[in-house]
C-alpha cells in the first residue's frame, strides 16, 4: 500500500502529522512519534510576545543605569515552559532534526507584522524543514473584514521574504470570505494552509465567578467545518497544499479529510489523550480501509469527494437547505 503524500513540497511517508503541542516540544516524544508512524511533527509555537519580551530584556540590559524600565506585556504569561524561549527554541529545532529522519516543522505564532518576523530566518538557519506561521488574531477592534485579511496577507509576505524553506499558514476559520483569503495567501507564496486553528474560548466558572482558561480537547464532530473548506478549496490553489487540523481521533477522520481534499492530516488532542502509540492503530486502520475498498494509495482517494460543482456557492446553499430539511426528531412531525 502506498501511503505517501506530498505536503509543502515535501514527500511524506503517510499523511499523518503530529501538530503543535507540548508533546512535540520534547525530543524523546518526537522520537516516539516517529516510531509510531508520524510522517512529520510541528513543534510547539514560539510566540511573537516571547520574542518581543526577550528583545525588551536585552534592551534593558544594554540601558542599565539609563533609567529605562522594561515594559512588561501585562497579559502575557511570565514564562512559557514548553518551548524554552527564543534561543532555546533554535536549540530544540537543531536537536529534533538530529534525532529524527522525518521533517521537523517549526511554528511561529503572532498576529501582526513587526520585528519578530526576523526570527523566521533564525529558524531556517537552525535547520527547520519548514515553518508553520500561526496567525491567531481575534479582531475585536474596529477593523473591517477586508483590513483583517489584508493584515494577514501582509504578515505572510513579510515572513515569506525572510525564508526559502517551505511556509505553511495556520488560520482560524472566522474570516468573512475565507475562499478569497486562501487564494491571496496562495498568490503570496505560501506552500500550505493548515485548516483550522481552534479558538480556545474561555468559559465562565459560575461558582468562583471568574473566567476559566482551561483547554478542552477536540472531538470528531468538529471536523465538519474543515471538510467543507477542504472540499471547496481542493484543486483551487496554484501552489499551496492543504493540511487538515481539528477533530482527528481515528482513521475515519483521516480518511474523510483526505476524501474532501486534504494532502496531510494533523492531530493533537488524540495524541494527548492516548499517547504517541495511538498513531500506529490509526495508520493500520487507514491501510485496512484503503485495501478493503480496492484503493492502492492515499493519492487515489485525495479529493474524491471535493466540491467540484461549477457554482460552489450554490452547492453549499443546496446542501445547507437539504441538511435543515433532513432533521427528524421526536417533536418534529413531517
Ligand atoms: C495543549 C495544547 C497546546 C497547543 N499548542 C499549540 C501551539 O503551540 N501552536 C499551535 O499552532 N497550535 C497549538 N495547539 C493546537 C493544535 O496544534 C491543534 O491545531 C488543535 O489542537 C486542533 O487539533 P486537534 O483537534 O487534533 O487537537 C495546541 C493544542 C493543545 C491542546
Instruction: Return the C-alpha cell found at 31.
Output: 522520537
Q: Residue 105 sits in a domain of what CATH number?
A: 3.20.20.70
Mean pLDDT, rounded, of the chain: 92
What does the alpha-carbon distance between residue 89 and residue 95 come to, in Å, rounded to a whole number? Answer: 10
16 Cβ inside 6 Å of ligand 1: no
Domain that holds residue 132: 5-308
Burial of 64 (0-12, 13-18, 19+ CB in 10 A): exposed
Lowest mean pLDDT among 82-91, 110-119, 132-141: 82-91
Ligand 1 in reach of 169 Cβ (< 6 A): no
Regarding predicted confidence, which is higher, 105 or 142? 105
- Ligand 1 mutation pick, 18, 83, 107, 198, max ligand atoms within 8 A of CB: 198
> Which has the higher per-residue pLDDT, 291 or 79?
291
Please tell me the predicted confidence (pLDDT) of residue 80: 56
For the chain, percent of residues with pLDDT exceeding 90: 81
pLDDT at 81: 52
- Distance from the CA of 269 to the center of ligand 1, in angstroms? 7
268 in ligand 1 pocket by Cβ < 6 Å?
Answer: yes
Query: Residue 213 falls within a domain, yes or no?
Result: yes
Higher per-residue confidence, 88 vs 333: 88
For the ranges 8-17, 42-51, 74-83, which has the lowest average pLDDT? Answer: 74-83
What pLDDT score does 84 carry? Answer: 64
Read off the pLDDT of residues 312-334 as tens digits, 9 standing for 90 and up.
Answer: 899 999 999 999 999 999 999 87
Q: Is 321 exposed, middle or buried (0-12, 13-18, 19+ CB in 10 A)?
A: exposed
Q: Is residue 328 part of a domain?
A: no
Q: Residue 79 domain-assigned? A: yes
- Select from 15, 17, 21, 108 the residue to mutate for testing ligand 1; criterion: most ligand atoms less than 8 Å from CB: 21
Max CA separation in the chain (angstroms): 79
Q: Is residue 325 part of a domain?
A: no
Q: pLDDT tens, 59-87?
A: 777 777 665 444 444 565 655 555 667 88
Q: Is residue 26 part of a domain?
A: yes
Q: Is residue 313 part of a domain?
A: no
Tell me if 245 CB under 6 Å of ligand 1.
yes
Question: Does residue 101 belong to any structural domain of this protein?
Answer: yes
Query: What is the per-residue pLDDT for 165?
Result: 98
Indicate whether 187 pLDDT > 60. Answer: yes
Nearest CA to ligand 1 atom 29: 21
Residues 166-186, mean pLDDT to the nearest whole number: 96
The rounded Å distance from CA 245 to ligand 1 centre is 9
Query: What residues pair up with 104 in beta bridges, in sequence order?
Result: 41
Among the listed residues 267, 160, 184, the one whose alpha carbon sits nearest the alpha carbon of residue 233: 184
38: which residues sit within 8 A by CB, 6+ positions away? 16, 17, 18, 102, 276, 279
Q: Is residue 324 part of a domain?
A: no
Whose C-alpha lies nearest to ligand 1, atom 24?
246
**What is the count of structural domains for the chain?**
1
Average pLDDT over residues 24-33: 98
Compute the distance from residue 21 Cα to the ligand 1 centre, in Å.
Answer: 5
For 237-268, what is the HEC assignment? CCCCEEEEECCCCCHHHHHHHHHHCCCEEEEC
Amino acid at each position: 500500500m502506498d501511503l505517501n503524500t506530498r505536503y509543502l513540497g515535501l514527500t511524506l511517508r503517510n499523511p499523518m502529522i503530529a501538530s503543535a503541542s507540548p508533546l512535540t516540544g520534547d525530543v524523546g516524544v518526537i522520537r516516539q512519534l516517529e516510531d509510531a508512524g508520524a510522517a512529520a511533527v510541528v513543534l510547539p509555537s514560539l510566540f511573537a510576545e516571547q520574542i518581543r519580551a526577550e528583545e525588551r530584556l536585552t534592551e534593558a540590559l544594554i540601558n542599565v543605569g539609563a533609567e529605562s524600565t522594561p515594559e512588561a506585556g501585562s497579559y502575557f504569561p511570565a514564562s512559557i515552559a514548553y518551548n524554552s524561549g527564543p534561543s532555546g527554541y533554535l536549540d530544540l529545532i537543531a536537536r529534533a532534526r538530529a534525532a529524527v529522519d522525518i521533517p521537523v516543522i517549526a511554528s511561529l505564532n503572532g498576529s501582526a507584522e513587526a520585528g519578530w518576523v526576523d526570527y523566521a530566518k533564525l529558524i531556517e538557519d537552525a535547520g527547520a524543514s519548514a515553518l508553520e506561521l500561526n496567525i491567531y488574531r481575534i479582531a475585536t477592534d474596529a477593523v473591517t473584514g477586508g483590513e483583517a485579511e489584508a493584515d494577514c496577507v501582509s504578515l505572510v509576505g513579510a515572513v515569506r521574504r525572510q525564508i526559502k524553506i517551505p511556509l505553511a499558514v495556520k488560520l482560524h476559520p472566522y474570516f468573512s470570505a475565507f475562499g478569497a483569503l486562501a487564494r491571496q495567501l496562495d498568490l503570496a507564496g505560501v506552500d500550505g494552509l493548515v485548516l483550522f486553528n481552534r479558538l480556545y474560548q474561555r468559559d465562565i466558572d459560575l461558582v468562583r465567578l471568574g473566567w476559566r482558561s482551561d483547554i478542552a480537547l477536540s472531538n470528531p464532530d468538529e471536523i465538519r467545518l474543515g471538510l467543507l473548506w477542504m472540499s471547496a478549496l481542493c484543486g483551487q490553489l496554484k501552489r499551496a497544499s492543504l493540511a487538515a487540523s481539528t477533530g482527528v481521533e481515528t482513521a475515519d477522520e483521516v480518511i474523510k479529510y483526505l476524501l474532501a481534499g486534504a494532502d496531510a492530516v494533523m492531530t493533537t488532542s488524540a495524541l494527548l489523550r492516548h499517547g504517541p502509540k495511538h498513531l500506529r492503530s490509526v495508520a493500520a486502520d487507514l491501510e485496512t480501509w484503503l485495501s478493503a475498498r480496492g484503493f492502492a494509495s492515499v493519492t487515489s482517494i485525495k479529493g474524491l469527494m471535493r466540491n467540484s460543482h461549477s457554482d460552489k456557492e450554490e452547492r453549499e446553499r443546496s446542501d445547507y437547505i437539504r441538511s435543515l430539511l433532513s432533521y427528524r426528531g421526536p417533536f418534529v412531525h413531517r
